[in-house]
Structure 1
Amino acid sequence: MHPALRLLIFLALLFLFLVTIKLMGSSIKSLGKETAAGLFAHVGNPFAGLAIGILATVLVQSSSVTTATIVAMVGSGTLPIETAVPMVMGANIGTSVTNTIVALGHVRRSKEFELAFAGATMHDFFNLLAVAVFLPLELLTSGLFSSQVGGHGGGLLTEAGLQIAMLFDSSLSAAGAVAEEVVTKGSSWKSPVKAAVGSVAGFIKGLVLAGKGPASTFQIITLFTISFGGIFTSLVFITMNMKKLIANRAEKALNRALEKSGLIGIAIGALLTVAVQSSSITTSLLVPIIASGILSLRNAFPITLGANLGTTITALLAAMVAGSWGLVIAMVHLLFNLAATVILYPIPKLRFLPVDLATGLARLTTRNRLWAIGYVVITFIVIPLLGMQIFGE
Structure 2
Amino acid sequence: MAYAEKRVSTAKGSKGKVSWRARYKKPDGTWGSEPGFPTKKTAENWGDEQEAAMRSGRWLDPDLMRTPFGVFARKWMASQSPRGRTVMNRWERLDTHILPKWEHTPLIAFNWFDVDAWARSLACAESTVKDCTGLLSLILTGAVDAKYLSVNPLYGRRSSTNTSAATVPDQPTAGEVQQWAPPEAVLQVARRLGPVNGLLPLTTAFLGPRWGEGIGLHRAKTLLQRREPYNGGWFECPILRIDVEVAEYVGRGADGSKQGVVRRLEPPKNKWSVRDIDVPPFLADLLARHLATWPHPYVFMTPSGTWWWRNAWWELMRPAADGRPARPKARGRAVKEAWDPIMHGMTMRRLRHTHDTYQAQIGVHPVLAFEQAGHRYPGIKGTYQHPTPKMRQQRLDGLQEVFEQAMRNLGWRALWESEDSAKFASQS
Q: TM-score, normalised by structure 2?
A: 0.23
Higher strand share: 2
Report which structure shows greater RCO (CA 8 Å, sep ≥6). Answer: 1
Q: TM-score, normalised by structure 1?
A: 0.24
Larger of the two Rg values belongs to structure:
2
